Each structure stands twice: as C-alpha cells, then as structure tokens.
Amino acid sequence: MILLSVGTQLPFDRLVEAVDQWASRHPEVEVIAQIGPSNYRPTAMKSCAFFEPDRFRKLQAQCSLMVSHAGIGSIINALELGKPIIILGRDHRRHEHRNGHQISTITRFGDLPGIYAARDEIHLMELLDRVDLLAGKNILPPSAPEDFIKNIENYAANAKALPFWRILWRLFFP
C-alpha cells in the first residue's frame, strides 16, 4: 500500500493529482491519500482530507511507500519507520506555500538514504513506476537521544542555550 500525505495547512493539488493519475494506471496498487484542503477530488485512490493521528500512524506503519510534500515531519516519520519516501516540494512561486522552505528541505535532505526527491510530477511518476526498487532506511531512533533531550531542557531553561535550529542540526548531523 502507498500512503500519500500533503500535510494539513494548504492544498497541494499538483501532488494529489499526479499520484491519482499514477494510481489510475495501476489499479492493482492500493493508494490511500490524506489530501488536506484540496480542490482536486481523486478518482483512482481512496482519500480523505485528514486522518486522526492514531489512524495516520497505523497507515504509516502499514504502507510500503510514503509519498509526501517536503514536510520535515513526514520525512522524520519515514526515517523513524524505515519507510522509503518520495517527496515533492511545494513551490512558493506557484502559490503552494508561503515561502521556499520545502525546496530548501529537498536540497538538504533529498540525498539521504530512503528519501527520493522528485523534481516534478513527471519525475514523481517515474519514481512510482520503480516502487519495487525503492528502499527505506531506518536512520532515526524511535525516541530522541539523551543529548538531544538535555539540549532541549537547556534551551528551555537558559536563553543562552543553543538556538533550536542548531539542536535539530546536531540531531541530524552529530
């Protein structure tokens, strides 16, 4: 089963439509989609606007592949679960987001093992066509390392502690 997620804040019709088109050509593959406040209504895949968190986590655990916007939460979940994830960044120039941070996320994380960065919808479909060759990588532990927790506590207790982004950076790049 393939799980598509676009996040909760904004529509991402370009991604939803591309995966739905792929699903229409591959009816043998179950595709379940969380489409957010989308204007596009899928016809070839099961979809809903939002899942309850527990249901969504179960679907993430069950799927063989995640497809997502370039949201850091989706990427972290895939890395924790060892699931391959295809990401397509929202493009702020197309008014899919407020700024270009998802493009930056792809630039930074798109070459990590288990993460497959799609350049556009055509490349996304090419990656989906090779789904049997995509492998996940479990590179994040299911709970935060002790040093990370201590840094968060220091940050909360002391304004001179590391900025939060540096804490995250150290988590990913010790």
Give the pLDDT confidence of 31-40 residue by residue, as tens digits. 999 999 889 9
Host H or E run for residue 3: strand 2-5
How high is the pLDDT of residue 149?
Answer: 65
* CA 104 – CA 71 distance, rounded (Å): 11
Positive or negative torsion for Cα 59, 63, 68, 71: positive
Residue 92 pLDDT exceeds 60: no
Task: Please write the tens of the pLDDT for every residue from 73-91.
Answer: 888 888 888 899 999 977 6
Structure tokens, 21: 């088109």
**Residue among 44, 31, 25 nearest 1 (CA):** 31
| Mean pLDDT in residue range 37-59 | 93
pLDDT at 147 over 70: yes
142 contact partners, CB below 8 Å, separation of at least 6: 80
Query: Which helix (DSSP H) or strand (DSSP E) does residue 68 occupy?
Result: strand 65-69
- Mean pLDDT calculated for residue range 28-50: 94
Taking the C-alpha atoms of residue 20 and residue 31, their distance in angstroms, rounded to an integer, is 8
**C-alpha span between 49 and 58 (Å, rounded):** 17
Judge if pTM exceeds 0.85: no
Q: pLDDT: is 151 or 13 the higher one? A: 13
Residue 33: strand pairing partners: 4, 47
- pLDDT for residue 130: 87
Could you tell me which of 15, 119, 120, 136 has the C-alpha nearest to residue 66? 136
pLDDT band at 159; cut points 50, 70, 90: very low
Please tell me the predicted confidence (pLDDT) of residue 111: 76
